Structure 1
Amino acid sequence: MPTAPYTSGSDTTAYAMSGEDIELGKKTPNVTITSCDSLQRPVLGRRKTSGMVGETITDHKLGYEGEEDALTKVGNFLWKIHGASIITRYALYVIPVAALLAVPLVLTATVYADSRAGDIRLLGLFVWIEVLWVGLWVCKLVATALPIVFQAACGVISTGIRKYSLVLMALEIPVSFFLWSIMAWATSHMICAFDSCGDKDNWLATLKTAFKALIIVAAIFLAEKTFVQLISVNYHRKQYDEKIRESKKLIRLLDMLYDASRTIFPEYCREFQEEDADIQGNTLTDVRRKMAQAGVQTKVIDNMGRVRDKVTAAFGVMASDITGKQVFNSTAAHSIVVEALETERASKALARRLWLSFVGEGREVLYQSDLVEVLGQQHSDAAEEIFHALDRDGNGDVSLEEMEMLVVNVGHERHNRAASMQDISQAIGVLDSLLSVLVLVAVAFIYATFFSPAFAAKTTQLWTTFTGLAFAIGGTMTDCCLYLFVKHPYDVGDRVDINAVELVVERISLMYSVFRRVDNDKTVQIPHNVANTLWIENVSRSKQMKERLSINVAATTSMEDVLALRNELNKFVAAPENKRDFMPELDIELRNLNDLDKLELRVEIRHKSNFANEQLRNARRNKFMVELLAATRRVPIEPPGGSAPALGDPANPAYSVAVSNGEAELFRSKHTTETEAKRLFPVGSGLSMFMPEAVSSAMQSPAVAMMAGVMGRRNGSVTEGRRSVDDIVPRRM
């Protein structure tokens, strides 16, 4: 690969910038960065390797650690007001309404003291309403405190149980409703607190019955919401927790690399002007390129993106001073990296900037020593962690293509995971809606049972019908829920093989999934209850995969030729240009002899990745197939039938010789005699003389006699049964 010159001279400008003071323009004498004004940009590494660059980054905090939420004085003041006490905040909701409800309470206690509803004074009714209002917020306060109490109590036993406090947080309203229904029924006797009426009035008895039914309804509602939340928490934690952690780790490492890259090469410097425009100017890059193709200068377009980022960052600083948090900080490394991962073009530009920043000038690969040199010896552990994350194939170096593939895959996985989580959340929402409909039907049955004696008499029959209907629908729903939330064989964006058909997952719903066929891009929809019975091979979730190729060779191929072919292929996979694609283990197996006219060999090759990326897999497979053909010709390995010229070719002409009939019969009988002489058990010699006595006696059975008869028929004698070769030859003569 040709290397563009990278020289410094009169047309270069030297920068000496530290990581902390790039924006301010402060200079330090330890870092020298040469910016070329030449139009020819270097292709390989661009970092000058003379001197230790990492000495200037000793105390600089590389990367986004998720710890940027430090509060300012104003933020602390506002936070104290907002979070001083939940009782204070609830008082703003409770006191105004309680004061309004106290007006009829005071009037019925003084001016209208004799006002009654049937035999009950209205004073008791308004006192009970006041208690209901205050009790509602007390129950909500208890429901809010339940997650804190649960986390504090169960955290002592096991930290893994703390995640279920999220369920209690999501169930704040159902729990509040359940507690309030119990409280409302338990305090209903307060209505008669100022009378000795008991439950004589029909409306009071009806009210108590309604609250009894309300308790059951609230319990069913709470159970349904708890079931949905448990599915949501357990599913997301089981399926996505590890993937999210891995993604955050990779993005944090990219943040560290980008921060260090900006330290040695400032943004929009001569070396990385185009890359920075692609990374930070996604919305203006297309316009800039179109104008550049038309021959129009695009400096104004370039500067528009930079001004936009500066203005956004300025507003972000103002918002951060008020809230104490990082708000739309467009100049932070984390914000730039996350934005670049949204598109493939920006991801490749980010990968090029990072790789070219750290690779030494003129080199073709990135080594761990390059990261240590840039970050400094004091950050050698971080450099080792970063390098192991980049070197996925474990060959000790990272190429530009490998770096681009890694960054693009991080962006694709992040996008696919977000789409998959959104689809699953929608599926959980649909499940919640269906269960809510069932809860609504159950509520109707419960209230009808409580208030209608005639309906209560037929409850058993109706519940049987309802249960049968629920069972008929629930069978399919149960299969779909088990398939989606328990098995969950794929996510959005995964490459899967279902019944040997190559598919890509496009969308996941509660009852079905939508796929795209790899061979013809057709859209396929498969119900979950059908897919639950099929074999599903997830290629994206697989580790390094292997491939088996079968070839047929001539039957005269020797073992030395097979070993020579294996050695040639081993040299190919161990070559520096191929060691990133294939594992060093390669084997050849003799699979079949067929009809003794050819040998079937199976070559087993191991890739260093799975087959999720179809384009990459095809490129690697084509490379190996071409080498396999070339290796068979170098050995050489002859095809079935040998490599002799075809009959009639000038190198193998056809001859015709005339012989007499007697000579033909003589040569034919001679060939038959020689063939029979080569047999281990010549025809007509009998098997007993070649076998032990016990074995020969054991074979004297009708089955053996029948076999002997068949052998006799095969040799042309039906009546005589056995004949020697000497008896056959004279007859043919």
Structure 2
Amino acid sequence: SDPYQVVLALLRTTSGCQVLARRLYRTFARDGFDTVFSGDLKEAYDDNEEAEAAFSMFDRDMNGDISMEELEGVCVDIGRERKSITASLKDLDSVVSKLDQVFMFFVFIIIIIVFLTLISTSAAGVLTSAGSTILALSWMFSTTATEFLQSIIFVFVKHPFDVGDRVTIYGNSGASGLGDDYFVKEIALLYTEFKKMEGHIVQAPNSVLNNLFILNQRRTGALAEALPIVIKYGTTVDQMERLRHRLVEFVRSERRDFQSMILHELREVTENLSLTLNVVFFYKSNWQNEGLRLQRRNKFLCMLMIALQEVGIEGPRMNLQGYNVDTPFHVAYAGPPTGAPSTYQHHTPDEGAAVGAEPVQVPIGKSFHNIPENTGSSSGVQQRHSILRRDIERSRGESTHNNKHVDFSLGMSDLSSNDILGDVFEDRGIAAHRDEIARSANQHADERWMQKITQEEGIASQDGRTSADSRSVRSEHDEASSARHRFPGHRNRGSVSRGHGDLESGSGRGVQE
């Protein structure tokens, strides 16, 4: 019934966090609006500063409003951070307890040595010989001691990650030996357990991790990503500029996911055949949540594909029947079918063409709109309209079919708040639940055992009281009987006196008669 306890109970599970987020959204969202604004939270707080602080905690993309999906993601992240903090503190307590046991062992050995030195004068020679022997065998313990010290430095001094963090470990790790991404599952004194994206559990010594470069995604801010695109040689600067403007419009419309900035970088020119163009876009978050990263990356890549088709930027390779795929696109080999009305210049296909193919006629100064669409031909001057573009303007994300919604995230929008890839607390929760059940069962067994013992003691005490009462009755009876035996004339004197009285009364009655 306590609201605080209800919120804590909901934050324990992912589904509970989503229920809490939907409840908050329905409570604060005004009618006619799909988002929650900062003014909507002021009714729940006495101080405007607290309301602004609460709003900024949920508005992580800093766009001025909170959607339901954003609220669900924040609530799920808060629940997992609570689990992460609890698990980290638990692991740290376990490490400290083990380290305390090791130090207590050494203290105990030192106390024994000092005690032997004090009580015996000849113990010094024995200890000297024993020390020489241990020093001679020190090579056996040098590796273990080095690993132990490096692990202590790694866990307590460096401490590059906590439980639940997504990390990238560079070095000889991973399937290819070039590093891999992991989620931290458990931190022990001498080792750390990781969970891979595929679900595998990996154990790594802390002494090895102490010498590697580690990238912590949770402690990283907003990230950028560069997408290399290989385009044909001869792509105009105007096409690349229009591509950038189109992508800038997209990221500004999706301000919850991306920063409003796009960078272009021309990397290299390959044999007058192709250009390598880097398209750099900026996220509004890090890559701790893999589901959210996939959602935003898929969304941008889908829009990039559509923008490339709309602008008319194509790749360097041809896809024509009977032609070599390595033929540069700026060499105009392709043309309309033979017999098309125009002025043509004859060309002969290259050596990779099919045997028996007729020469292809290429129009000079004519457009290629009459070429069949399945030929894949293109011109360096004229553009072929995208199949996704219509004659009338349509909003971004709208399909060419009417009343059909296109999900640019490719289904990842529904999974971003429920990131099962990074859930490393499921097994720990099962183990904790199993331990709790075992403790509860043992507690119930102990309670039943104590109740049984109490009942037996109660029965025994009741039997003892009954026997004590019977013994007291018997003792009283014995005392009475012993008293009668000690004074036998008491009853006889009473009977004699009663006999004299009877005689006197009888004699009196006789005289009266």
Using the TM superposition, give the Cα deviation of residue 642 of structure 1 relative to its aligned residue in structure 2, in angstroms: 6.4
Confirm or deny: 8 A CA contact 1:566 1:586 kept in the other structure: yes
TM-score by length of structure 1 reads 0.42
Provide the residue aligned with 1:542 in structure 2: 220
Measure the CA separation in 2 of the matches of 1:348 and 1:442.
57
Q: 581, 585, 591: which one pairs with 2:261?
A: 585
Is it true that 1:640 corresponds to 2:316 in the alignment? Answer: yes
Equivalent in 320, 332, 353 of residue 23 of structure 2 = 353
Aligned equivalents of 2:47, 2:111: Cα separation in 1: 64
| Equivalent residues in 2 for 1:505-654, closer than 5 Å | 505-518=184-197, 520-575=198-253, 578-641=254-317, 647=323, 651=336
Q: Secondary structure of 1:411's match? A: helix
- When residues 414 and 486 of structure 1 are mapped into structure 2, their CA distance, relative to the original with a 3 A threshold, is same
Identify the residue that residue 381 of structure 1 maps to in structure 2: 49
User: Is the aligned partner of 1:392 residue 2:60?
Assistant: yes
- Residue 565 of structure 1: CA displacement? 1.0
TM-score for both structures, normalised by structure 2: 0.59
Q: Which residue is 1:371 aligned to?
A: 41
In structure 2, list runs of 5 or more residues that go unmatched: 171-178, 324-332, 339-345, 350-513
Distance in 2 between residues matched to 1:383 and 1:646, nearest whole Å: 68
1:628-648 CA distance string (max 9 Å, x none): 111111111121146888739
Change (3 A) 1:558 1:645: farther
Q: Deviations over 1:593-631 (max 9, x none)?
A: 133311111111111111111111111111111111111
Seen in structure 2, the aligned counterparts of structure 1 residues 643 and 564 have a Cα distance that, compared at 3 Å, is farther
Contact residue 554 and residue 642 of structure 1 kept, 8 A:
no
- The structure carrying a bigger helix percent of its residues is 1
Is 2:133 the partner of 1:462? no
SS state of the match for residue 280, structure 2?
strand
Where do 1:153-302 residues align within 5 Å?
A: none
Shift of 1:452: 2.6
Tell me if structure 2 keeps the 8 A contact 1:496–1:537. yes
Aligned-partner Cα distance in 1 for 2:157–2:337: 68
Q: Which amino acid aligns with 2:6?
A: I
Q: Give the aligned partner of residue 342 of structure 2.
A: none
Q: Name the counterpart of 1:232.
A: none
Distance 1:525 1:561, change over 3 A: same
Q: Return the alpha-carbon distance in structure 2 between the equivalents of residues 638 and 646 of structure 1.
A: 20
Code of the residue aligned with 1:434 in structure 2: it is: V
* Alpha-carbon contact 1:489-1:538 (below 8 Å) kept: yes
Q: Which has the larger radius of gyration?
A: 2
| CA-CA distance at 1:444 after TM superposition | 2.1
CA contact (8 A) 1:645 1:652 kept: no
Partners of 1:384 and 1:646 in 2: CA distance: 66
Q: Does the CA contact (< 8 Å) of 1:645 and 1:651 recur in 2? A: no
Q: Residues 646 and 375 of structure 1: is their aligned pair in 2 closer, same or farther, counting only changes over 3 Å?
A: farther
In 2, the alpha carbon distance for the partners of 1:424 and 1:445 equals 32
For structure 1, which runs of at least 5 residues remain unmatched after alignment?
Answer: 1-330, 658-733
Match of residue 32 from structure 2: 362
CA distance in 1, matches of 2:347, 2:235: 28
Give the letter for the 2:168 counterpart.
D
Percent identity, please: 32
Letter paired with 1:449: T
Offset of 1:365 from its aligned partner? 0.5
CA distance in 2, matches of 1:593, 1:486: 48
What does residue 412 of structure 1 align with?
80
Residues in 1 aligned to 2:313 and 2:320: alpha-carbon distance in whole angstroms:
13
Q: Distance in 1 between matches of 2:109 and 2:126?
A: 16
Residue identity matched to 1:422:
K
1:464, distance to aligned residue in structure 2 (A): 5.1
Q: Structure 1 residues 656 and 642 mapped into 2: Cα distance closer, same or farther (>3 Å)?
A: closer
Q: Give the whole-Å Cα distance in 1 for the aligned partners of 2:160 and 2:49.
A: 37
CA deviations on 1:48-67 (whole Å, 9 max, x unpaired) are xxxxxxxxxxxxxxxxxxxx
The alpha-carbon deviation at position 458 of structure 1 amounts to 4.1
The 3 A distance-change label for structure 1 pair 582 and 645 is farther
- Counterpart of 1:503 in structure 2 is 182
- Structure 2 match to 1:288: none
- SS state of the match for residue 550, structure 1? strand
RMSD between aligned residues: 2.4
Match of 1:479 in 2: 150
TM-aligned CA deviation for residue 581 of structure 1:
0.6
The offset of 1:492, in angstroms, is: 0.9
Answer whether contact 1:517 1:524 (CA < 8 A) is retained. yes
Deviation per CA, 1:685-708: give whole Å up to 9, x if none. Answer: xxxxxxxxxxxxxxxxxxxxxxxx
| Deviation (angstroms), 1:587 | 0.6
Per the alignment, residue 214 of structure 1 pairs with none
- Per-residue CA deviation, residues 172-198 of structure 1 (Å, 9 max, x unaligned), is xxxxxxxxxxxxxxxxxxxxxxxxxxx
Deviation digits for residues 35-86 of structure 1, max 9, x if unmatched? xxxxxxxxxxxxxxxxxxxxxxxxxxxxxxxxxxxxxxxxxxxxxxxxxxxx
Q: Which amino acid aligns with 2:203?
A: Q
**Cα offset, 1:461, TM superposition:** 4.4
Q: Residues 340 and 350 of structure 1 are in contact (CA less than 8 Å); yes or no, is this contact kept in structure 2?
A: yes
Give the secondary-structure state (helix, strand or coil) at the position aligned to 1:365. coil
1:559 is displaced (CA, Å) by 1.7
Q: Secondary structure of the equivalent of 2:261?
A: strand
Query: CA–CA distance in 1 between the matches of 2:148 and 2:228?
Result: 45
SS at match of 2:204: strand
Compared CA separation, residues 585 and 460, structure 1 to 2 (3 A)? farther
- Deviation of 1:454 after TM superposition, in Å, equals 2.3
2:47 alignment partner, SS class: helix
Write the distance in 2 (CA, Å) between the matches of 1:478 and 1:656. 75
The residue type equivalent to 2:255 in the other structure is K
Q: Distance in 2 between matches of 1:557 and 1:639?
A: 10
TM-aligned CA distance change 1:421 to 1:466, over 3 Å: farther
SS in 2 for 1:394: coil
